[in-house]
Each structure stands twice: as C-alpha cells, then as structure tokens.
Structure 1
Amino acid sequence: MSAFTAVYWKEVRENLRDRRTLINALITGPLLGPVMFIMLMNVMVNRELAKTDRPLAVPIVGADLAPNLVAALKSAGIDAAAPLSDPENAVREQRTDIVVRISPSYPAAWKNGQPVQVELIYDSSRRDASTPVMRVRSVVEGYGKREGAMRLIARGLSPTTAWPVQVADRDQATSQSRSALMFSFLPYFFVLTVFLGGMYLAIDLTAGERERQSLEPLFVNPVARWKILAGKLGAICSFSVVSLLLSVAAFATAPWFIPTEKLGIALDLGWRFGSQVVLLMLPLILLLAALQSLVSAFAKSYREAQTYLSILMIIPVLPSALLSVIPVRAEPWMYAVPLLGQNLGIVQLLRGDGMPAWQMGLCLAGGFVTAALAVWGTAQLYRSDRLAISG
C-alpha cells in the first residue's frame, strides 16, 4: 500500500466515525439548503398563484359613482368591499393590500367626455401586495382603454387614432431561459456546498491534529511530506465531491415540487445538467481543499481554524453577490477566473444555452492552474517542522 493510499483511507475512515463531520459535510450543507429552498419556493409560488385565481375583495370608495367600472371589476373576480374612512392609513397599517378611490367628480366628467380619475392606493414596498395591485391595475386600465375606444367610435373615429404608435413585443426569452432568473443563485449554493463539505475535515486534518499533537508522529515516518498532503487533500476532496453530488441530486427534484408549468418556465436540472456542473466544479473542489488546508495550517487550535475559515467563506460568495447586484456581459477572459467562470457557466446551463468547448476549457484550465498554485503553497508549508508543533 502506498503512502498516499494509507493516509487517504486513514483520514476517510476516521472522519466517517466523526458524527459532526458527517452531519455538516453530508446533511447540513448539501441537503438542508436545497430542501429549505424548494419548500420555500413551493409555498411562495402556490401562494402567489392562489392570489391570481381566487376572488379578491377590494375596498372601493365611491363605488356608487362608477357602477360600470365596479361591474367590470366584479367580472374579473374583484368584488367591491365596504369603503374605508381613511384608506391611506388602512394600507399603511396593512389592513388591506389596495384601496380604489373614485373621484367625486367622476359622474360629471364622464358625462362630459372628460378624463376621469381613479386612485389606486397601495404600498409598493410590500412584496405580498404586488399581485392584487397588478390585478386591479390591469382591469382598470383595460376598462379605460375599452371605453376610450367606444368614445372614438361614437364620434366616427377609428380607435387607432388615439394610438398612432403601437409597441409590438418580441420577447426572445425561452421558457428555460426564464427559469435562470429564479434559480440564478444555484452557483452560490454549489460553491458553498463544496466549501462546507470539506471545511470541517480540512480543519480536523490540520489544526485538529496539530492540537491533538498527532501530526508530529505522522511527520516522523520516512514518507515524503507531499504524499501525506496528497492523502489529506484526497480525503477532503472526496467529502466535497459527495457533498456536491448530494446537492445536485437534491436540486434535481425541484421540478417535482415547484409548479413550473403554471409559471411558464421549463426547469431542466437532470443528469446532463448535473454532470456538467460537477465537471465545472472539479477545479474548485481541489482549490478550496488546498486553501482550507493552507488557512487551517496557520491555526493552533480547531476553534481558531473555524474562525479563519469563516472569514475565508466570504470569497465564494463574492461572484454570485456581485453578479446579482451588477449584471455584466460575459467576456471570454471571465471564464478563466475561478469562481466567476463557474458562476457564468452554471447560469448558462440553466438558461439552456449550453457551454461551448472553449468556455468549458477556460473554466477548467483557469481553475486547475489556480488550484495547482494553492496546492504548491500548502506543500511548502507542510515542509516546515513547525507545522507539527502545537502552541
């Protein structure tokens, strides 16, 4: 048995018996996040869809002034509720999502063919009120356009006279590309899963053994230090790969629970998508394992290494956070940047655009080169005898 194999299986077996490592690497990271997200999305989507289908009761101030408008609202499933004495305060206190207020001058202005005013009172900062507001607004605007067209016809004019310029929408988005808007966070989830999958093992194999003073007997053996490091990195990468596979498999069940057909999107997270994601993440698995081992080597205790790696965890978050706030047009060089290239690539796969061979090659090449540098830096640190000394 080679030194690499001996170290690898020793670390794997020891950490398989560690309940804390197993829970964090194989349950908390890869499964808890996807399950919570899928459940949350299922609840939110079904709640919003229910709002669009069920009858909606809206307080209308001055409903008797515009009976035809009220009838149009009723035909669209929007019933007139009792008017409120202070609609602004009612909306502010969230006692209602929206209030319709009809101007007292509505009957006279309507009779004279003049513009009439209908106020929609709502709070745009309330996300849960957006669906009722959109429903009421669309009905009122549709009623206004229809009545305006009837006025033109009564005067012997074509309705198109009022709209000399017509906008024709030609949306090029596909049902699958629209799903990328909802699941654009997936790269962050996958990177975080890889990070958490190997983090506790990396801490235990470096700072933990240093604290337990078990590194010194290991280094005394007539074995090259790089072989010891290779065995430890192999064990960390194995846990990270398993964690990533579990996360990919968990997200693959999302179309079973989220009513994508009602949202008009197509979500393809099957084996083809999963295999390409795993391929894209391979360089990051080695890179993060090396960085975690490198950072943990500077810590003198398990708890200190946890603190250091908690700060290091910010790095995988940055590309996803920046791209969500500042959308950028992908340039060829970006695919060679670790983390950024994976983020762009996974979003492309979500959209159904696929990744050309040159983009995949840049992602893998840039990631493996950076990972090799990180491994080399960690190997240099492993050559020092001070690593085995605790305190």
Structure 2
Amino acid sequence: MKTPAIRSRTFITVFLKEVRENLRDRRTLISALLTGPLLAPLMFVMVLNIALQREFDKADKSLSVPVIGAEYAPNLLNALKAGGVVPGPAIADPEQSVRKQENDVVLRIAPDYATSWRKGEPVQVELIYDSSQRDANTTVERVSNLVEIYARQQGAMRLVARGLSPGTAVPVTVARRDQASAQARGVLMFGMLPYFFVLTIYMGGMYLAIDLTAGERERQSLEPLFANPVPRWKILAGKLAAICAFSTLSLLISLVAFGIVGRFVPVEKLGMELELGPRFSASVLLMSLPLIVLLAALQSMVAAFAKSYREAQTYLSLLLLVPAIPSALLSVFPLKAQDWMYAMPLLGQHFGIMQLLRGDGLSMHQLGLCMGGSAAAALLAVLVTAQLYRSERLAISG
C-alpha cells in the first residue's frame, strides 16, 4: 500500500538526500561555491587591473630609449624629449638587447641622416624591437607615433618653404567612422567571460556528479539504493536535480561576483563601458539552464563508466576540455554568428553572451534556438544516462 507513495516521493527524497549529504562535503562546497564562482572573477579582474595599470604607466611616464647615432639628429631627439621619451646611451648590440628583453625598443639613426636631410632627401630611422614581446607593444607604438608626427611636421614645413600647400602631399585622406559603441569595445577585454561561465557550471557539479555515481559505487551504497522498489529513472532524476542545483548556484554566485568586481575595472579610461548588472545575469542564467542539465547528464554518464572515485575524476578532468572548444576555436577562427550556430550547445551560449556583452541584446528567435538546441542535446544525454542506470553492472563495485 505504501509503494505508490514511496514512488511519488522518490525524486524529492533522493534530491534532498544528495543535497544534504554534499553540503557536509567540504571538497564539494569549496569546488562548487568558492573556487570557480569567487576565485575566478577575483583573479580575472586582478590580472586585468595589473595589466591595464602597466599599460597606463607606460603611456604616461617618461620612457628611456637607447638611441644609436643621436648626434646626427638633434632636432628629432628634442621632439622625442617633448613627447616624454628620454634618449639613452647607445648600445653595442641592439638586436641582442631586444631579444633578451633588456630593452623594449632601440632607435638607430643612420650616419648619413644629416647629409640626406640637408639635400631634402628621405632619411632613415630604424626602430629595433621584438613583436613577439607583447609587453613592449605600448612602448614601440609610443616611440613610433612620435617619430611619425615629427616626420609629418617637417614634411609640411618643407612644402611651405617651397610655396606649396601641405595638403599637396596628401591628395586623399581617410575618415574613419567607428560604429562600435563604448560597450561593444568592452568585449575586447571580457571576451573570455563565456568560457568562465561554462567552466563555473561544470566545476559546480563535477565533484557531486562523481560522488553520486562512482563514489557511491565505490562505497557499495549504490546497490542498496537500486534495490528499492522504485524506477531507476526517478533515482537518476533526483541525482541530476542535485547536480543541477549546485551548478546553478555556482553560476549565480559567479554572475554576482563578476557584476561586483567588474565595477573595479577602469574601463572608462579606455573609452569603454561594461554592463554586467541584473538584466545581463538573468539573460545568461536563462540561456544556460538547458546547458546545466546537459553538462550534469554528461558528467553522470562519464562517471558511470568509472569503477572508482579517482578514475571518474580523471575522466571528468579530460571532459573539462570540451567547454573550452568554442572559445579556443573562435580565438583562432573568428566567425560571424549565423542562426544555426545558436542551436549548437556551448557555441550558442558563447555567441549569446558575447552579444549581451556588446549591448546588442538577444532576439527571441536567437534565445529560442540557443535554449532549444541545448535542451534537445540535454534530453538525449539524459536518455543515454538513464539507459546506463538500468544496467545491473552499474551497482556492482570493482
């Protein structure tokens, strides 16, 4: 007589049991609620602030640049000094100095500079640098711009001295009309946010998924659970619900954390804006819901093949590479988003979050494709996992 009542309460009973037990597990709590959701935003903003501060310092402070042949172009050196560049002593091997990162850039002036200048001929100035050293880019650009400004000024003065208009040397000018909004430019710095959010979801449920399948199998507690007169799919549903609850909570904490720490990034100094408020968080959460179920089912499926906790941890660590695929591919092969791409799990979430960061918003069509495609994949993963749960071999340890 109690069987129908027991069956009707199975889902809630399993869900509450798993949540309650894992709230006592320090490792699960640290992974799901601290390491990913809080540490990642703090580290991200800290590194970004340090990098931006270094760039600001290089742009504002005086730069010491070794100059070879300084005696040949005193006027050029005065122009550099006026722009905050302090000419340093010449060095014997500038190429080697740049390769060893002893100097970001070295300026070399040709010995025939003065002679060619008096004849009105083009003169040669070399900037020696290493383009593979990204830290030197700001210094190189600053010195290069000062030299080019000086060259344009002197060229204009030569034309005026000959009774010609300075515009004669520039018959065509290019007027650039940048249509990117201030918020769209902020995507340049926060382009890795989609990966962080997916990683947070994955890490939020990973240890719980391992413990609820391989962990219970290793402790030989899965077989007594399966011995109860209830359908296996209800047990699976309760376990998946517990994993999804932890993953969702992890994502929520991450969204709130990014919304708070994002305000400490000096984007306004770069002419950018960044909106990571409640509307952004709600949109990301909505499009991520089917992805949360998909990742939970995949984690449970992979963990079901493992015979021990450690083995499952190895398998799921390898599976962790999957969420990185869209971000890695798009960093190498930039793609223009098409409708069908929104229906692809992970890829659709990536494009959707990027659109939200740009301030463009998501249309209902795009949101529907994003959620529908991931929901279909999640349903398939759940069905496959449910089939595995029907196997008696799953409950047997060893």
TM-score of the pair, normalised by structure 2 = 0.96
Tell me the equivalent position of 2:354. Answer: 347
Secondary structure of residue in 1 paired with 2:108 = strand
Deviation at 1:253, TM superposition (A): 2.4
Secondary structure of residue in 1 paired with 2:397 = coil
Query: Structure 1 residue 39 and structure 2 residue 55: aligned?
Result: no
Query: Structure 1 residue 248 and structure 2 residue 255: aligned?
Result: yes
Tell me the equivalent position of 1:299. Answer: 306
Tell me the equivalent position of 2:274. Answer: 267
Q: Distance in 2 between matches of 1:207 and 1:62?
A: 71
Aligned partner of 1:281 among 278, 284, 288: 288
Q: Distance in 1 between matches of 2:124 and 2:324?
A: 48
Tell me the equivalent position of 1:230. Answer: 237
Q: Distance in 2 between matches of 1:226 and 1:89?
A: 67
Q: Which amino acid aligns with 1:158?
A: S
Aligned partner of 2:194 among 164, 187, 194: 187
Tell me the equivalent position of 2:29. Answer: 22
Q: Which amino acid aligns with 1:227?
A: K
Q: Which amino acid aligns with 2:136?
A: A
Q: Distance in 2 between matches of 1:186 and 1:41?
A: 13
Q: Which amino acid aligns with 1:100?
A: L
Secondary structure of residue in 2 paired with 1:59 = strand
Query: Structure 1 residue 96 and structure 2 residue 103: aligned?
Result: yes
Q: Which amino acid aligns with 2:243?
A: I
1:71-126 deviation line (CA, Å, top 9, x unaligned): 11111111111222322222222221111111111111111111111111111111
Secondary structure of residue in 2 paired with 1:314 = coil
Tell me the equivalent position of 1:67. Answer: 74
Tell me the equivalent position of 2:221. Answer: 214
- Check whether the contact 2:83–2:146 (CA below 8 A) recurs between aligned residues: yes
Deviation at 1:213, TM superposition (A): 0.7
Query: Structure 1 residue 162 and structure 2 residue 163: aligned?
Result: no
Q: Which amino acid aligns with 1:316?
A: P
Deviation at 1:260, TM superposition (A): 0.6
Which segments of 5 or more consecutive residues in structure 1 lack a partner in the other structure? Answer: none
Tell me the equivalent position of 1:133. Answer: 140
- Check whether the contact 2:45–2:262 (CA below 8 A) recurs between aligned residues: no
Secondary structure of residue in 2 paired with 1:315 = coil
Q: Which amino acid aligns with 2:326?
A: P
- Check whether the contact 2:223–2:395 (CA below 8 A) recurs between aligned residues: yes
Secondary structure of residue in 1 paired with 2:131 = coil
- Check whether the contact 2:267–2:273 (CA below 8 A) recurs between aligned residues: yes
Deviation at 1:380, TM superposition (A): 1.4
Deviation at 1:53, TM superposition (A): 0.2
Q: Distance in 1 between matches of 2:234 and 2:263?
A: 45
1:26-65 deviation line (CA, Å, top 9, x unaligned): 1112122221111100100001111000011111122222
Q: Which amino acid aligns with 1:111?
A: R
Aligned partner of 2:57 among 32, 50, 55: 50
Q: Distance in 2 between matches of 1:11 and 1:46?
A: 46
Q: Distance in 2 between matches of 1:255 and 1:147?
A: 45
Secondary structure of residue in 2 paired with 1:355 = coil
Tell me the equivalent position of 1:373. Answer: 380
Which segments of 5 or more consecutive residues in structure 2 lack a partner in the other structure? Answer: 1-7
Q: Distance in 2 between matches of 1:321 and 1:96?
A: 32
Q: Distance in 1 between matches of 2:261 and 2:332?
A: 25
Aligned partner of 1:309 among 316, 324, 331: 316
Q: Distance in 2 between matches of 1:253 and 1:45?
A: 18
Q: Distance in 2 between matches of 1:255 and 1:229?
A: 38
Query: Structure 1 residue 109 and structure 2 residue 116: aligned?
Result: yes
Tell me the equivalent position of 2:131. Answer: 124
Aligned partner of 2:85 among 68, 74, 78: 78
Q: Distance in 2 between matches of 1:27 and 1:113?
A: 67
Query: Structure 1 residue 331 and structure 2 residue 343: aligned?
Result: no
Q: Distance in 2 between matches of 1:89 and 1:280?
A: 52
The percentage of counterpart residues that share the same residue type is: 64
Q: Which amino acid aligns with 1:90?
A: S
Aligned partner of 1:385 among 381, 384, 392: 392
Q: Distance in 1 between matches of 2:57 and 2:337?
A: 38
Q: Distance in 2 between matches of 1:313 and 1:69?
A: 55
Q: Distance in 2 between matches of 1:254 and 1:52?
A: 25
Q: How many residues align?
A: 391
Secondary structure of residue in 1 paired with 2:323 = helix
Tell me the equivalent position of 2:365. Answer: 358
Q: Which amino acid aligns with 2:110?
A: S
Q: Distance in 2 between matches of 1:359 and 1:19?
A: 39
Tell me the equivalent position of 1:11. Answer: 18
Q: Which amino acid aligns with 2:50?
A: V
Deviation at 1:315, TM superposition (A): 1.4
Deviation at 1:270, TM superposition (A): 1.0
Q: Distance in 2 between matches of 1:330 and 1:257?
A: 30
Q: Distance in 2 between matches of 1:118 and 1:32?
A: 48
